[in-house]
Structure 1
Amino acid sequence: MDQSPYDVIIIGAGASGLIAAYELSLTGRKVAVLEARARLGGRIHTIANKKFSVPVESGAEFIHGNLNLTKTLLKQAGISFSEVKGELWQKKSGKLSRQEDFIEDYNDLEKKFKQLKNDLPVSAFVEKYLTDDKYEELRFTLKNYVEGYYAAELSKASTYALCEELNTSDEEQYRIDGGYSQLMCYLAQQSEEHGCIFYYSHVAEQINWGENKTEVVTQSGTFYAAKLLITVPLGVLQQDKIQFNPGIPEKINAIKELGFGPVIKVILEFREAFWKSKEYTRNQDLSKLSFLFSRQEIPTWWTSFPQDSTILTGWIAGPRAAEMKNSTKNEILLKSLKSLQLIFDLEIRFLEQNLKEWDVFNWAIDEFNLGGYAYEVVNGPYFRKIVKEPVYNSIYFAGEALFDGPEIGTVEAALVSGRDTAHTIIASF
């Protein structure tokens, strides 16, 4: 059934689409949001049911620094957040030991950054500046950081962006008390109160457009609007899941040049927090453990510290996640337990018996994400500029992948991009 015309249709009810809906609906415009899932939030999804003893984040979890817009919205919504504290540990040379920073030997890395004359992929930077044997550990932690934190391929990730992020980002990180989904619900509620209409389980398949007119075809009906804002994840666009008529090849080609890495998240809830007991840690005091790094198949783990919890979260990103994405949940669980067995030198039977609940969230094969989040590539600003330019005042793009700055790939980036693009649309009227 065809739907009556709107001023603006937004495709995607993730962070970017929700804040855009909020900003646009405040102006009195007739706004509709088409969301493919049966829920809002996109890769923000707090699991708050009886399966786990506390709410857990299946997707976005951290506020990476003192980020203005995210914090402003949380305060506006009356949602509290807490600082992430604790210690970094690593399994190295068969021993558990403290790690001072996410990248070891950072002073050496900083000296090499200063020798850069032009941007390079991180792989080329390593080959040119870090080949000496003395940099073996630095090469390992740098690779782990770029692939694990950025979910990036070393052959595409920008060294300039890496340098900027390491030199300018805040050390503080925060979690939202009760989960990120509260913020998404707040934005949706505010939008609905100002007349915005949400259509769930509406998968956009084709977009027909002309100057100042658009038509979105879904299996559930066709929607019309003067303007269209597309906020779906980069992976969906890179795999041509939405067709455009007429085609917009310059935009799509630029989109395919941008970086978008896969991620898989494993949540394991145990009956006891065994890592807090010296009995299981070879007399090491891991009671304040926050992040733990290793060379295992599931290399990165974190706790809920300073909250008292028996949950360990495993993280696989970038090329590792790409290799693992077609594994079943049970196969990934087994790899997770095997990794913990080798990290803590425990019997796998002990881990299995101690495991209370678990789940695997494979965003790499999620049909409405097809990856995880964006990362900066060499010449990224050039490609983003092409994508962000409106198509004849009809089609606009927004999302965490289109943010210029070190926060690319974060919820803050999605919020800022959605807000700023909404303001551009408002001005275009």
Structure 2
Amino acid sequence: MASSPLHIAVIGAGFAGLTAARALKAAGHSVTILEARDRVGGRIHTKAAADGTPVDVGGQWIGPGQDRVLALAEELGVETFPSYETGDNLCLFNGERMRFSGILPPHAPEAVAETEATFQALDALAATVDAERPWTSPNAQELDNQTFEAWIQRTAQGPEARFWMRFLANSVLAADARELSLLHVLFYVKSGGGLASLISMSGGAQERRFTRGAQHLVERLAEDLRPNLRFNCPVTALHQDERGVVVEHAGGSLPADRVVVTLPPTLAGRLRYSPALPGARDHLTQRMPMGACIKIQCVYARPFWRDAGLSGMAITDAGPISLVYDNSPASGTPGVLVAFIEGEEAKLWTNRSAADRRAAVLGALVDLFGPDAAAVREFIEQSWLEEEFSRGGYGGFLVPGAWTTLGPALRQPCGRIHWAGTETASQWAGYMDGAIRSGERVAAEILAIAAAQ
């Protein structure tokens, strides 16, 4: 038990906030968790289809190396099951539909060789990055001064290799290659244990799903913290001095000794601070926009694609979707395909009508899977760009020049204000596991300060 208990306000009831609150409470401190939504989870959100099937409209996959989230699921008795990947994958590229197994479709041998070489070059470069302190990496300034797109154009000459690199930016970071700092892409790859880990199902980040949806794990984590939770309490301002912090929120104000902010940096930058944040921290929040993603679940009576020997995984360059997976429940019924509109396409299509998006997505699925894809029983979409308390997904990314000039401000406390959230993680940044790790880090940070007082 703490000899002089502190009262800590935690802003955000996702994995980061709940993990930090749990550790601080266990150490004898009091915590209050302020959540803007009427639920826990943040960018983790499970909805129910009409027949009760859980569908994750937010983050959903976990895999090897994500030790924190795997351990939490085991501790709390939350069941997972392997993602479905039996059968051939599909790729629609330059109007040609291809069935394939493995990572790459059957392009011309020279195109496959160049694509593999480009992947290897990116992986090798990422291995040189210090994920804990990217700005100290060899040639950090040179890497940070260029976009990922500039590297692609310099490294890959063929259209296939360039397509796969740009697809990587869309599918992993929900951003376009021309927006991303090359150093940030390398950091992200290193943080996730390498390219194979990030893009694979078996053995990779998409290996398993939660039987009752990812929000089930968040709900279980929140059970012992229910007395400490306040919902529908968006925070608007933080005022700190030598005595503590006052948190202003929709329901009034809350005094605290310290505050943990778990919002994505760009949203944290929208709060009012008194005194103002240090310039480096404020400028960091201006240079870390959110990715753009619309996630769509198409529910069918059965997974008809399996009858044709297909895995349900598909990639297309025809838009508006870029990536599809079999997202059926563990029982296999009903059949569910999850499709993603990402990056530039997401920014364009979030402005279109729901009817237009539905028609375009189903048309793309018919082009991939045949006419049965039109017989959708339920169409569930989630535009994370329109989410008031997320404003994008999957996470925030740094633009060129930001890591090397402002990187240290990402985790550096500002007086009594501490920063958590998956964007602040050095391992599995952007993932549930990274969010949990960030909560553990910030709790340890505060406990060390309390012990020294």
TM-score (norm 1): 0.86
Against the structure 1 CA distance between its residues 163 and 227, is the aligned structure 2 distance closer, same or farther, given a 3 Å change threshold?
Answer: closer
Q: Counterpart in 2 of 1:360?
A: 381
Q: Counterpart in 2 of 1:123?
A: 149
Q: Deviations over 1:315-355 (max 9, x none)?
A: 11222212222233333212211211222343xxx655x22
Against the structure 1 CA distance between its residues 136 and 54, is the aligned structure 2 distance closer, same or farther, given a 3 Å change threshold?
Answer: same
Against the structure 1 CA distance between its residues 381 and 17, is the aligned structure 2 distance closer, same or farther, given a 3 Å change threshold?
Answer: farther
The structural deviation recorded for 1:111 is 5.3
Alignment map for 1:7-156 (pairs within 5 Å)? 7-48=7-48, 51-86=50-85, 87-92=88-93, 93-101=95-103, 105=113, 106-110=115-119, 112-113=121-122, 118-119=142-143, 120-130=146-156, 132=157, 135-155=158-178, 156=180
Contact 1:7–1:29 under 8 Å retained in 2: yes
Q: Deviations over 1:157-209 (max 9, x none)?
A: 435336533166553621112111121112211334xxx51110011111111
Contact 1:16–1:399 under 8 Å retained in 2: yes
SS in 2 for 1:38: coil
Q: Deviations over 1:98-155 (max 9, x none)?
A: 152169654311454458964242111012111x2xx211111211121122112312
User: CA separation in 2, counterparts of 1:272 and 1:163?
Assistant: 36
The structural deviation recorded for 1:52 is 4.1
The structural deviation recorded for 1:85 is 4.1
Aligned-pair identity in percent equals 21
User: CA separation in 2, counterparts of 1:382 and 1:226?
Assistant: 30
User: CA separation in 1, counterparts of 2:303 and 2:355?
Assistant: 22
Contact 1:10–1:21 under 8 Å retained in 2: yes
User: CA separation in 2, counterparts of 1:6 and 1:263?
Assistant: 39
Deviates more, 1:83-92 or 1:359-368: 83-92
Q: Pick the aligned partner of 1:388 from 388, 406, 411.
A: 411
1:274 aligns with 2:304: yes
User: CA separation in 1, counterparts of 2:23 and 2:347?
Assistant: 36
Q: Pick the aligned partner of 1:326 from 347, 351, 360.
A: 351
User: CA separation in 2, counterparts of 1:236 and 1:422?
Assistant: 21
SS in 1 for 2:423: helix
Contact 1:400–1:410 under 8 Å retained in 2: yes
Q: Counterpart in 1 of 2:276?
A: 247
User: CA separation in 2, counterparts of 1:362 and 1:35?
Assistant: 20
Against the structure 1 CA distance between its residues 115 and 65, is the aligned structure 2 distance closer, same or farther, given a 3 Å change threshold?
Answer: closer
The structural deviation recorded for 1:399 is 0.4
Q: Counterpart in 1 of 2:336?
A: 311
The structural deviation recorded for 1:91 is 2.2
Number of residue pairs the alignment of both structures matches? 402
User: CA separation in 1, counterparts of 2:189 and 2:77?
Assistant: 35
Deviates more, 1:67-76 or 1:107-116: 107-116
Q: Counterpart in 2 of 1:402?
A: 424
Against the structure 1 CA distance between its residues 250 and 115, is the aligned structure 2 distance closer, same or farther, given a 3 Å change threshold?
Answer: closer
Q: Pick the aligned partner of 1:171 from 179, 200, 204.
A: 204
Q: Deviations over 1:71-101 (max 9, x none)?
A: 1111100112122241532123432311521
User: CA separation in 1, counterparts of 2:290 and 2:149?
Assistant: 17
Against the structure 1 CA distance between its residues 34 and 83, is the aligned structure 2 distance closer, same or farther, given a 3 Å change threshold?
Answer: same
Against the structure 1 CA distance between its residues 28 and 381, is the aligned structure 2 distance closer, same or farther, given a 3 Å change threshold?
Answer: farther
Contact 1:65–1:174 under 8 Å retained in 2: no
Against the structure 1 CA distance between its residues 11 and 125, is the aligned structure 2 distance closer, same or farther, given a 3 Å change threshold?
Answer: same
Deviates more, 1:242-251 or 1:55-64: 242-251
Against the structure 1 CA distance between its residues 245 and 145, is the aligned structure 2 distance closer, same or farther, given a 3 Å change threshold?
Answer: same
Q: Counterpart in 1 of 2:440?
A: 419
1:262 aligns with 2:292: yes
Q: Counterpart in 1 of 2:134?
A: none
Q: Which runs of 5+ in 1 are unaligned?
A: 279-284
Deviates more, 1:58-67 or 1:82-91: 82-91
User: CA separation in 2, counterparts of 1:341 and 1:290?
Assistant: 12
Deviates more, 1:365-374 or 1:259-268: 259-268
SS in 1 for 2:41: coil
SS in 1 for 2:290: strand
The structural deviation recorded for 1:314 is 0.9
The structural deviation recorded for 1:426 is 1.4
